[in-house]
Structure 1
Amino acid sequence: MLHATDEGYDEARSLWNGMFEKHPSIVAKCRGAADVMAAVDFAREHDLLLAIKGGGHSLAGKSVCDDGLLIDLSPMDDVRVDPDSQTARVGPGATWGDFDHEAQAFGLATTGGVDSRTGVAGLTLGGGIGYLARSYGLATDNLLSVDLVTAEGELVHTSEDVHPELFWGIRGGGGNFGIVTSFEFELHEVGPEILTAQVFHHIDDVRRVLEFYQEFMTDAPDEVACYATITRVPTESAFPEAYHNEPAVALVGAYSGAIDDGRPLLAPIAQFGDPLLAAVEPMAYTALQQGDDDGFPDGERYYQKAHFLETITDAVIDVIVEHTETLPGPYSGALFEPMGGAINEVDPTATAYPHRNAGFSFSITGGWSDPDRDEEIMGWVREFFDDLASHATGGVYTNYLAHDEDDRVDSAYRENHERLVNLKNEWDPENLFRLNSNVEPASGGGQ
């Protein structure tokens, strides 16, 4: 246990998102399931607010709390790959960088995020969108089993065959039902190099680029994932110096199959329009997965809101053009992530993650340093989000809910929400695990 005066306390309570400066009364640094069980018992018996920190990315800041008990899982960052069965056992403190480092030694991977610092646990339990999702499904679709500690401090194993309803719920239902101490994933042959496309256009071309992007993704095979992002031009020699730090629209594509097979499929991305930079080339899969790391530095202030869209219409583009001529804050931008393929082949009720019919996830991120700009930049995100609402599906990716969006939890779980409430009633009726995209039990316990 760590207290405020102990060495390591400040590091344990720190998150990637610097907006959240909180001070738990106690930090339990757990090194195994037994430690987690003891910490859960302690929190329950002393009626303490309980926060759980895995990788510590925590966009919404719910991985730390004031007062209460913080369970820090970061020491449990082991990744054990079995290349014969093409599976991996992963601890809840591991990041996707940890995961890919081990799996790529054998030319294996499963769907992860687009930032290597993101925790395996949080991303997977909320769904898990990434470059491989159209080929192999979400991270949660590649989950074979987990061990988790329940609100009663008991360790249970769950899979399709053991506690299948609980296994259904954790695949998209977040950390509502317990603390996972071990994940078992299915792996796929990917890398160590993967074909990528990286293309930047001036922001004045955003309308034409997004029209092309919608058309390109409509016909793209499942092995192709292309992201469209409104961002700033990197301060790198590959880009004309006059455009450094200026707003731009970029297309980043990846092909999960054989490199030569992907060249004609990714070529149109580079051939379209008059880009500032265009490259289609092999890249280490681990480098692709680290692509967002530098653009969103640790400890800055981040606020994000997101929609799902069926398609990118002219009206959607109108809203984007209006709000992205300038980007407030050095790390602000917007991102289209393509759905479809293996993601949408799963029935919306087969896992707790319900968004199996969307065409794109669209997220708007404000990123800045100065707390005095909080209202300005959060206001930009909110206005942008509100102006898109009438063009969206009404759903939202659980992992993209902001700290002030508890009223959108129903939109995250949609038709699966009532079933999740029943599961919460069974496994956590007092709502001990409530610092998350919270499914409240029928009793409203722990509020």
Structure 2
Amino acid sequence: MATTTSSTPTPFSVDAERLSELGAVFRGPLVTPGDPGYDDLRRLDNAAIDRRPALIIRCTGPADVIDGVNLARTTGAPLAIRSGGHHVGGHGSVDDGIVLDLRDMNGVWVDPANLTVRVQGGATWGQVDRETQVFGLAVPGGIVSSTGVGGLTLGGGVGWLVRRWGLSCDSLLSARVVLASGELVTASETENADLFWAIRGGGGNFGVAVELTFRAHPLGPEIAAAFVLHPLAGSEDVLRGWRDLAVDADETVTSRAMLWAMADDETVPPPARGKEVLIIGAVYAGDAAEGREVLAPYRALGEPLVDMSELLTDYRFLQSAFDGDDTPVHSYWKSLYLDRLTDDALAFIYARALERPDPSILVHIPAMGGACARTAADATAFGDRSAPFMLSFDGMTQDPAKLAEVRDWVRASVEAARELDGAGGTYLNFVGDDASDRQVVHEQFGANYGRLREVKRRYDPGNLFRVNNNIPPA
């Protein structure tokens, strides 16, 4: 599996003659600067990332991916893999290089008899939910339906079902991966087991996942959920009450607290429209009628502005509840884990939320534990997942002039949070730092880092796949 990739990226350009030659090879469209649709295709979810690739390859299948990987390797061009384009660090694009755009590879095939789902690497979670829910099945995804399946899964995957069935990568049964050599291989417990271990949490460091096969779980379409909005001011008791419920919850319940501001538009119920809020959300992964009783205490906390629980009784609707509109949002996120969510920690979080320099900033506390925590740290590349809570400062603003202030606030918040009792680590899917930042990578993988570097050396010794939370080869 040798490769000749240089560790130093080479700016890549395509003249008309070369583009014509490439067009005879690739089945999918090739898009370069100046072409119609180029700016739309290069746009990422994070408006703060404005990269201009030299060539965007709209891949239609594994053959286009293989030829794209070979082209990057032989030319030394920087290479980025785009699935949903949602990573806050902008890993789906690269300046002066090649982007393999997988969005047209979005097929989803459900086998309800065997409880499996086969998904192409460019599909979104909304597309997966659309097919699986026909059969009353679900695969643990994230909380935004337009997120790419490939990127979220390879980075771990924390969503509404994490306490019942673990991370997204915990339901992964196998993957077909294009390596840096251009070879297409299968990674599973029985084939290339070291690669399978590495891609479950190690991100896109080891190849391009062109197809993923998941274990599906019985859930939906009807579900039980709690989704209650409280006024942020004076909500400390509600926050503590949620913490107590979350700590004692059965693993069938996954919940989260979100300190935020609601949009001032008609999509928000009038009592909460334009208001600073504390959102208490919870999902029951089981029988809906039983779940409504289990979740009643989450709905009984405090005096809410509005209780939207009865509007979120369909799994697909829940999964798209946090989908944004097309308004450009400039983002910078950082996260960590908490072994304990003490009263002092909650007081700190609440105080920081009140000091947000932009109302779009989300302070987010997902409850972890349950099935996620039962998986040993060395069982997958993801690493230690024993912490019962995550704390994420999701810095967002619609005003690009405020991004520097938002970024500074997020960094200061995380540094201060690291002084909390039991704080540590980071979740790489929620990190806005540059791909070359080694500190955040070490924080996530811990003792698994050395093994990951060995796997990287075997499958990508030239570090072709480096536009990510990068793990250099040993």
Q: 1:100 and 2:129 equivalent? A: yes
Determine the C-alpha separation between the residues in 1 that align with 2:392 and 2:235: 16
Residue 204 of structure 1 deviates from its aligned partner by 2.2
Determine the C-alpha separation between the residues in 1 that align with 2:235 and 2:417: 16
Determine the C-alpha separation between the residues in 2 that align with 1:180 and 1:238: 37
2:468 to 421, 436, 443: 436
Q: 1:59 and 2:91 equivalent? A: no
Determine the C-alpha separation between the residues in 2 that align with 1:205 and 1:22: 42
Q: 1:400 and 2:419 equivalent? A: no
Indicate the SS of the match to 1:265. Answer: helix
Determine the C-alpha separation between the residues in 1 that align with 2:441 and 2:267: 44
Indicate the SS of the match to 2:346. Answer: helix
2:442 to 410, 414, 418: 410
Determine the C-alpha separation between the residues in 1 that align with 2:411 and 2:396: 13
Q: TM-score, normalization: structure 1?
A: 0.95
1:369 to 379, 382, 398: 398
Q: For structure 1, which segment, 273-282 or 185-194, has the greater mean C-alpha deviation from structure 2 after superposition?
A: 273-282
Q: 1:358 and 2:390 equivalent? A: no
Partner AA of 1:413 in structure 2: F
Q: 1:176 and 2:205 equivalent? A: yes
Partner AA of 1:439 in structure 2: I
Number of the residue aligned with 1:293: 323
Indicate the SS of the match to 2:117. Answer: strand
Give structure 1 stretches of 5+ with no counterpart. Answer: 443-447
Partner AA of 1:299 in structure 2: P
* Post-superposition CA distance 1:318-370 (Å, at most 9, x none): 22122111433342111111111110111110000113211111111121122
Number of the residue aligned with 1:142: 171
Identity level (%): 38
Determine the C-alpha separation between the residues in 2 that align with 1:237 and 1:25: 39
Determine the C-alpha separation between the residues in 1 that align with 2:103 and 2:309: 37
Contact persistence 2:206–2:459 (CA under 8 A):
yes
Number of the residue aligned with 1:328: 357
Q: 1:387 and 2:387 equivalent? A: no
Residue 239 of structure 1 deviates from its aligned partner by 4.6
Determine the C-alpha separation between the residues in 2 that align with 1:311 and 1:275: 26
Go from structure 1 to structure 2 and tell me whether the alpha carbon gap of 1:176 and 1:351 turns closer, same or farther (over 3 Å shift): same
Contact persistence 1:319–1:384 (CA under 8 A):
no
Number of the residue aligned with 2:46: 17
- Map residues 38-49 of structure 1 onto 2, 5 A cutoff: 38-49=67-78
Contact persistence 1:247–1:325 (CA under 8 A):
no
Determine the C-alpha separation between the residues in 2 that align with 1:136 and 1:320: 28
Number of the residue aligned with 1:445: none
CA RMSD of aligned residues (A): 1.6
Determine the C-alpha separation between the residues in 2 that align with 1:351 and 1:256: 24
Contact persistence 1:240–1:276 (CA under 8 A):
no
2:275 to 246, 256, 261: 246
Go from structure 1 to structure 2 and tell me whether the alpha carbon gap of 1:240 and 1:8 turns closer, same or farther (over 3 Å shift): closer
Give structure 2 stretches of 5+ with no counterpart. Answer: 1-29
Go from structure 1 to structure 2 and tell me whether the alpha carbon gap of 1:181 and 1:23 turns closer, same or farther (over 3 Å shift): same
- Map residues 56-95 of structure 1 onto 2, 5 A cutoff: 56-95=85-124
Contact persistence 1:247–1:326 (CA under 8 A):
no
Q: 1:203 and 2:232 equivalent? A: yes
Determine the C-alpha separation between the residues in 1 that align with 2:166 and 2:353: 31
Residue 237 of structure 1 deviates from its aligned partner by 8.4
Contact persistence 2:428–2:440 (CA under 8 A):
no
Indicate the SS of the match to 1:24. Answer: coil
Aligned length: 440
Q: TM-score, normalization: structure 2?
A: 0.90
Contact persistence 1:130–1:138 (CA under 8 A):
yes
Q: 1:27 and 2:59 equivalent? A: no
2:370 to 330, 341, 359: 341
Determine the C-alpha separation between the residues in 2 that align with 1:8 and 1:237: 30
Contact persistence 1:129–1:138 (CA under 8 A):
yes
Contact persistence 2:187–2:193 (CA under 8 A):
yes
